[in-house]
Every structure is written in structure tokens, then in C-alpha cells.
Chains A and B, each alone.
Chain A
């Protein structure tokens, strides 16, 4: 098992290297003098020199690479041009809202998709299945910013049950404020989980061990609900981990729609403000999140599925 995890970690190291390269290039690929571009009207010689020094842009290229990597690992990502504060502080303040949003969205997606996916598999090719599949095709095509605005229109303006945006205080407040944004992301994720669950449950229902349980006279609800479902749920872990990139993409847009002070809203704001040090830092943080989720998913796989453990031991 540890060998397997070690190999996966090695893969993560490679992805991390790629992320560092992208982050490093963001400022250096800007056409013209990046610092002048960033500072705009404030591009006085003193300011330019200060920013050059802060970001290490005055060093020779070889030194720039090593110093960037060193400082990235120390959490020193330079200072924001606009906010004049360390990037690491700004990013860290924005981390929790995004993480809560992602977790909440995942929970909602599971609540929606597990019963519907099961329904779809049990009534395969009959009316419930076709309704579920059609809805999932439509929701696959729904832009999240639009869906978010529609939810605001319905639940915040017409019915007035949820706030239309912002980030509350305390657990209850946050939960209340994040419900609509999490639902927006959850409704995007749910169809993908549902498709996976449908096909894996169909496969499980037709497998020998389920047939055997059926022939021993267990009730159908128990056969499907307990025996088949258990195995059918396992692939959802990998769907979740593969989708983490898409989920993060979703938070970028949804945070803007609902004015949540998270990482995604910060990214958009920083691009519009040309605040490149913050963009650089955010790329690293998003990358780290993806890597972390992938590692967690691998570990979860090993815990949940004995075959994976056995396979690892065999290697």
C-alpha cells in the first residue's frame, strides 16, 4: 500500500513542478515590461525598483528560478501591487470560504445524485430513467453563473428564504449564505456522479454475487440497497477526485455571482486589476488543492476497496 501511495506522491511532485512552472511564467510572459504594466500610473522609478526587488525580477534568469522555488516553499509569494500586503496573507484569508463552499457543494451533489442515480439504474430504460437522463443532459449544459442568478431570482428575491450573496457569520450564518452557491455547484456535479452511479449500479445488479444473494431469498430492496449499492458507490471517489479541477473552476464563477470572499473571486478581481503577484500565488494554491484532493482520493480508495489494497500488496 505504501509503495502505491509513494508512486502516486511522485506523480504529485511532477504535477507540482508543472504548477510552479506555470506560476513562474505568468509574470515573465507578459509582453513589454511586466512591472510597468502592473503599476500603471504609479510606475515611478522607485516603485518599479521596489516591485522588481520584491518579486526577484532584478536577478539573473537562473537565480530567478531558484529564488522563486525557494520562496514559494517558504510561503513567501511577494506583495500584492494593489493591496500592498503579503500575497500569502491575502490568499490565506480567502482560503476557508472556498473550502467550505467546495465541501458543501460535494455534500449536496451526493444527496441529489445517489437516490436519482439508483432510481435510474433500477428503472433502467423506463420512464424514471429517461427523465433522469434528460434532466442530467440539460443540467450539463447549464452555465453556472446563469443558474446561480436564477436561484437568486427564485429563492432570494421571490421567496426570500436565502440571502442573495455574501458570506455570513458563525456556522449557521455561513451555512445559510453558502446554500445557494453550493447548490449551484452541486447541480453541476450531480449529473456526473449520477451517470457513474447508474452504470456502476447496473453492473453490480447484474453481477453474480448479487444474483446469488437474490437466489438466497433476500428482499430486493436489501439486495440492491445494501449489497449492490456498496460496491457501486466506490467509483464515485474517483469521479470526485477527477472532477476537482472542474469544481474549482465552478467556484471561480460562483463566488463572483454570489460575492463570496473566496479564492475564485480574488482571482478574477486580480486579473482585472493586473495584480500579478496575487495571480501567481493563487495558481500555486489551486494547484496544491488539486494535488491534495488526489492524494486523499487515492488513500480513500485503498481504505474502501480491499481489491486495491491487495493489488498494491501484489505489486
Chain B
């Protein structure tokens, strides 16, 4: 950053295209710093709020009180109450914790698995690679949610189905990404050197290749976290994910759906929390992608 600022002052003396390019790079850098900061602040604040849910929450997340149904947001109930008289603010805090934990699991377990598969395919090439890439292609072509719903259909609605469904499908994009990087990496001098020294493939992959493959996977995982958050909330909204009465942001939105006219807050507010949390992750991902000269997002 300091070097850039210094170069920028120097650039005052430059004219035309060079100065333009430098200014361009500087604005891009500044933009990326700002979004990274905001993203980390959002995710950090919500994670802390969720983690300390039991200390912060003013009420019991599952305590029914039918005399307190559908109260609008007030000093006592910051986000109002739902059709069962439960405090929405309290439920939101617990839901953030649940969603974050589940989403981190269904993002990073497949990432590790996908990286290993991708690294093996890219390293050994040949028939291992041919089979792997076929399997990956078929998975990627298919609508993700339909495959996960198929698994949920087999196991019955609930978190177990979501875990197994996403673990079964989610590794593929990481495997493709890692395989592509590995094909390039394996031709590089330091990998060749490690192999020439007679290190086992296991050691070359784990100690020499993986540390170089992990960064692009981490950047990609930020987009994946957002998608998994939406997937978990979506499945729970459909009644296929987290089951009542456990508080989950998507199922909380569904709770208020029939009362949209009388009580907008029941549906709206938990959804806003999803958007804010997701936007936080996507800001972090976007600026990390910028720094590594990588594209942010699932496609491309």
C-alpha cells in the first residue's frame, strides 16, 4: 500500500497513460481495502452476536406465548414477535449461530475433500484424471439444489440430509479448481526438484503442492459460503432442511409468510439478516479475489 502511494506521488510527474494506469490501480486497491474492511466488520459482528446468543438474547428462543403473537418491533421486542409469540430478535441470534456453524461445515469439509481429489487427479493425470474429470463434469452440469433435494428425499427432511447432500455434491467445484492449478503447478521447478529428490507423491502433494493451491480455494470458498447459506436457508424455507421449532433464518422467513399482510416484520427481518451476512462474505471474497487476480464467483 505504502509503495503504491509513493508511486502515486511520483506519478504526478508522469503524464498520459502511465499516470492513468497508476491511478486506476490505486482506486482499485482502495476500493478493495474498503470492501474488505466492511465485510470483515459485518461478518465479525454477526458471528460474535451469534456466538454469545445465550448471553445477549433477552428471551428463550422457543418459548411460546400466544398472548404475545405478532407484536410489531418495539423497545421490548426489537424485531417484534412471530405467529407463536416468540421473540424474533432472540431467535435471530440463535439462528445466526446455527447457520454459521452449518454453513462453515458444508463449505470447508467439501473443500478439503475436493482439494485432495483435485490434487491427485492433476498430479497423476492419466486414467485417474480422466475418470475424475468425467464425474466432476456430470455433477457440475446438474442443478445443485435438485441433487441435494434428491439426497434429502432419500434420507428424509432434516439437517442430516442437507449435510450428506452438500458433502456429496459440493466437493466438485473445488476439485475442478484444484486440478486445473495442479496441472500447471506440477511442471514447475520446485515440484520437479522435490520429485527428483525422491520424495513420495504423498509428501510432494501435501507439503509442496497443497500450500500453493490453498489460496485460490479459500477465495472461492467465500462465494461458496454465500451459496451454501442461501441453500441452507432455502431448503429450510421449503421445509426440507432445519426442522421446527429450531430457529433458522430461512424457516423464520417461512413462519411469517402467511402473515405478510398483518406482520411484515416476521418475514422481512430474518431475510435482511441473511442478506447482510451474505453480503459481508461476498465483500471479503470480492476483495480477496481482486488481490489474487482471480475472479470472484462460482462461474468463470
Q: How far is the CA of A250 from the CA of B230 in the complex (A)?
A: 11
- Neighbouring B residues of A124 by C-beta, 8 Å: 24
29 A–B pairs (Cβ distance < 8 Å), ordered by A:
A15-B137, A15-B138, A125-B24, A133-B286, A137-B35, A137-B283, A141-B230, A141-B275, A141-B276, A143-B237, A143-B253, A144-B230, A145-B238, A146-B275, A153-B268, A192-B297, A242-B300, A245-B144, A246-B143, A249-B143, A253-B234, A253-B238, A268-B240, A271-B152, A271-B157, A271-B240, A272-B239, A272-B240, A291-B141
Q: How far is the CA of A121 from the CA of B152 in the complex (A)?
A: 42
Give B residues with C-beta under 8 Å from A: 24, 27-28, 31, 35, 134-135, 137-147, 149-150, 152-155, 157, 226, 229-230, 233-234, 237-240, 250, 253-254, 257, 260-261, 264, 267-268, 271, 274-279, 281-283, 286, 295, 297-300
Indicate whether A141 sits within 8 Å of B261 (C-beta atoms), given known contacts A150-B268, A249-B143: no
Give the tally of cross-chain contacts (CB within 8 A).
166
Given A125-B28, A252-B149, A286-B142; 4 other pairs, CB 8 A cutoff: A142-B274, A143-B233, A143-B234, A145-B250
B275 lies within 8 A of A142 (CB)? yes
> CB < 8 Å: which of A30, A152, A252, A290 contacts B145?
A252
Q: A49 interface residue, CB < 8 Å from B? A: no
Write the nearest CB–CB distance from A112 to chain B, whole angstroms.
Answer: 17
A138 lies within 8 A of B141 (CB)? no
> CB < 8 Å: which of A30, A141, A153 contacts B281?
A141
- Neighbouring A residues of B28 by C-beta, 8 Å: 125
A14 lies within 8 A of B134 (CB)? yes
Write the nearest CB–CB distance from B2 to chain A, whole angstroms.
Answer: 21
- Neighbouring A residues of B264 by C-beta, 8 Å: 153
Q: A68 interface residue, CB < 8 Å from B? A: no
B141 lies within 8 A of A157 (CB)? no
Interface pairs A-B: 3 shortest CB-CB: A141-B278, A146-B271, A18-B138
> CB < 8 Å: which of A11, A15, A26 contacts B154?
A26
> CB < 8 Å: which of B140, B279, B295 contacts A137?
B279
- Neighbouring A residues of B282 by C-beta, 8 Å: 137, 140-141
A26 lies within 8 A of B153 (CB)? yes
Write the nearest CB–CB distance from A77 to chain B, whole angstroms.
Answer: 15
A145 lies within 8 A of B234 (CB)? yes
Write the nearest CB–CB distance from A122 to chain B, whole angstroms.
Answer: 14
Q: A130 interface residue, CB < 8 Å from B? A: yes
Indicate whether A290 sits within 8 Å of B143 (C-beta atoms), given known contacts A149-B271, A271-B157: yes
**A 243-280 to B, binary, CB cutoff 8 A, 1 in contact else 0:** 11110110011001000000000011011101010010
- Neighbouring B residues of A196 by C-beta, 8 Å: 300
B274 lies within 8 A of A141 (CB)? yes
Write the nearest CB–CB distance from B254 to chain A, whole angstroms.
Answer: 8
- Neighbouring A residues of B146 by C-beta, 8 Å: 248-249, 252, 267, 282-283, 286
Q: How far is the CA of A190 from the CA of B233 in the complex (A)?
A: 21
- Neighbouring B residues of A195 by C-beta, 8 Å: 295, 297
Q: A213 interface residue, CB < 8 Å from B? A: no
Specify the chain A residue showing the minimal Cβ separation from B298: A246
Interface SS majority for chain A? helix
Q: A65 interface residue, CB < 8 Å from B? A: no
Interface SS majority for chain B? helix
A14 lies within 8 A of B278 (CB)? no
Q: A239 interface residue, CB < 8 Å from B? A: yes
A149 lies within 8 A of B142 (CB)? no
Which of A137, A138, A144, A268 has most chain B Cβ within 10 Å? Answer: A137
- Neighbouring B residues of A29 by C-beta, 8 Å: 154
Indicate whether A248 sits within 8 Å of B143 (C-beta atoms), given known contacts A125-B27, A138-B275: yes
Q: How far is the CA of A243 from the CA of B297 in the complex (A)?
A: 11
A287 lies within 8 A of B142 (CB)? yes
A143 lies within 8 A of B238 (CB)? no
Specify the chain B residue showing the minimal Cβ separation from A138: B279
A290 lies within 8 A of B239 (CB)? no
Q: How far is the CA of A230 from the CA of B138 in the complex (A)?
A: 32
> CB < 8 Å: which of B135, B137, B147, B240 contacts A11?
B137
- Neighbouring A residues of B278 by C-beta, 8 Å: 140-143
Q: How far is the CA of A204 from the CA of B289 in the complex (A)?
A: 22
- Neighbouring A residues of B257 by C-beta, 8 Å: 149
> CB < 8 Å: which of B31, B274, B281, B300 contacts A239?
B300
> CB < 8 Å: which of A14, A17, A18, A149 contacts B267?
A149
Q: How far is the CA of A191 from the CA of B150 in the complex (A)?
A: 28
A256 lies within 8 A of B238 (CB)? yes
**A 43-82 to B, binary, CB cutoff 8 A, 1 in contact else 0:** 0000000000000000000000000000000000000000
Specify the chain A residue showing the minimal Cβ separation from B223: A140
Q: A22 interface residue, CB < 8 Å from B? A: yes
Write the nearest CB–CB distance from A134 to chain B, whole angstroms.
Answer: 8
Write the nearest CB–CB distance from B92 to chain A, whole angstroms.
Answer: 14
Q: How far is the CA of A14 from the CA of B136 in the complex (A)?
A: 11
- Neighbouring A residues of B145 by C-beta, 8 Å: 248-249, 252-253
Specify the chain B residue showing the minimal Cβ separation from A19: B142
